[in-house]
Structure 1
């Protein structure tokens, strides 16, 4: 159906609303004014309650409309939409354009009921987060809250919203807190198992991959997603996997342009120390590693079992052995929460 099919005016009848809701499969219809700006919503439950209280099918819906419903602005990340639906236990939410008109209606089935991917995601959550100082003295960094949820839950919701249902989480520092919070993952729409390191043998950003079930790392297994637990990021996991498979790369690294303004005048000169150029506070742009990877599952066999190793080190192993390593650009927001300043920026961005 077109969006116009589930937009109603206040003078519409109860029967009109039933017809719109039944045809749209969203469970609700949006009530709008003549400019198509949202006035409220009405659900099939509202209509049933109206009939029970004596309303007739030909009566107008105006008395039964929910005014000022929860909405999301155009462009809201899928993880945030899923968070809202989960928190409020609702199955649909209108998306509102900048001019106040209804752009679309998001449904829970659309967010998590799409194609389920066979790929497993591995989230690295074992670090101590020492750069955050006192903030991680009693709480692991992945459980620090941003916009009402622990950072790692935003990572998980991002993956679930993109069709990833099987997750492994590498834990070490305050592992029991992370496991107690996330459990088996069912609360977040996924299945979680844990790769348990020990305090005496931290495994880095790749070593815990060797603790995966061998079936997950066989040559026949689908590619793995590997990412850090301290990222506030929006990315299309399904597209990353598709493009990794199409590229023929053994490892695909998520990259992002990082810009830095040098706070001084930069001087260039030749071998005779003759100045050839002066640039006042130039901006430098480089491509940085975002801590998000898609890898052929069998690459895990290159890593020493239960010994420290890193994902950049695995990329270097691929290059040294002639395997292709490709870059995948992340254009949306990305914050690596490593310092109190980064955390404050993430919390501000999530407002």
Structure 2
């Protein structure tokens, strides 16, 4: 059970604190109060992503990114009126305040309405050899390695099911029969699962060309089958539709510290010395949303990785949306990450 009271922060708190609370409580909002506990601002999941895109530092004060004078409802209001207001203003959550402006609750759209179902295809890449996880993968395909008491791929599928998705396609190659035998047609999970088989490895994008022609003409959510994440797939799809481009790529902020003083020079002269600088980048998180037209760029016969496909799209005219992932995310590519996943699995129970 999520506790809305834990989403209340003070004006001196930072974006780093807000991200921590957003991930812990999964309510996708933090509320900022003054010294008298009156609501003065709100910050949503989307505000944080915009801050990350703008490369704001983690110590940015909440007062710099919050919505001042947020929309609220008074305590005791009729639920149907609250729901109507949230739908009219396209709000996912709305603070409840008393007559003095102090927070007494939080209402969410998810709580007020039935869970929405999405017919969008979900395409999961599960054909890799998992060589870096040997010997664990000598007799078991990586997607079926267990994290806790469930295979990696089952954890992924459950995350999508919880978000309302039910139309799955799984790309297979290495020990494909084991994947098919475990998941079957998806009826044990009350979803549909169909399979794409790569006769030869086609890369991280090549098997897109093997998807059937009768797919729903809806954006496709695509994800590597060796990830654990708490990303909100509904919000990802909503973002993609709102931005209006053909492709959205999820990215993760990655930083590393140079262990030495970095020297900038001009000819034989030293211009500056920066001691152990930290460099920050956005890296590919292995999760995408693709409009159906993107499938026309893939023939299903040639080896093609996603970076190649996206670069081709970018050259050909297309803009590529960037969706920063601040939620939990782990790429289970090596033994070290596999062991980490075992320690983190409680987040997915």
Which bin holds the TM-score, normalised by the shorter protein? 0.5 to 0.7
**Corresponding residue for 1:203?**
202
Return the match for 2:336 from 338, 341, 349: 341
SS at match of 2:214: helix
- Mapped contact 1:248–1:324 kept (Cα < 8 A): no
Summarize the alignment of residues 173-212 of structure 1 with structure 2, pairs less than 5 Å apart.
173-198=174-199, 201-212=200-211
Structure 2 residue 25 is the aligned partner of structure 1 residue 75: yes
Q: Give distance in 2, aligned partners of 1:265 and 1:279.
A: 5
Moved over 4 A (4+): none
- Mapped contact 1:125–1:172 kept (Cα < 8 A): yes
| Alpha-carbon distance, 1:76 to partner | 7.1
Return the match for 2:294 from 299, 310, 313: 299
**Corresponding residue for 1:226?**
222
Return the match for 1:268 from 264, 271, 281: 264
Return the match for 2:233 from 215, 229, 237: 237
Q: Give distance in 1, aligned partners of 2:133 and 2:313.
A: 33
- Mapped contact 1:160–1:189 kept (Cα < 8 A): no
Return the match for 1:251 from 243, 247, 251: 247
SS at match of 2:327: coil
- Mapped contact 1:147–1:347 kept (Cα < 8 A): yes
**Corresponding residue for 1:139?**
140
| Alpha-carbon distance, 1:320 to partner | 1.2
Any stretches of 5+ residues in structure 2 without a counterpart? 4-22, 28-104
Summarize the alignment of residues 276-291 of structure 1 with structure 2, pairs less than 5 Å apart.
276-291=271-286
Q: Give distance in 1, aligned partners of 2:204 and 2:124.
A: 9
- Mapped contact 2:246–2:293 kept (Cα < 8 A): no
TM-score (norm 2): 0.66
SS at match of 1:170: strand
TM-score (norm 1): 0.65
Q: Deviations over 1:291-345 (max 9, x none)?
A: 0000111211111233211211111121111022110111101111111111112
Any stretches of 5+ residues in structure 1 without a counterpart? 4-72, 78-102
**Corresponding residue for 2:149?**
148
| Alpha-carbon distance, 1:283 to partner | 1.6
The structure whose Rg is larger is 1
SS at match of 1:345: helix
Q: Deviations over 1:256-309 (max 9, x none)?
A: 101212223322222x13222223322211000000000111211111233211
SS at match of 2:218: coil
Structure 2 residue 318 is the aligned partner of structure 1 residue 323: yes
| Alpha-carbon distance, 1:74 to partner | 6.2
- Mapped contact 2:155–2:228 kept (Cα < 8 A): yes
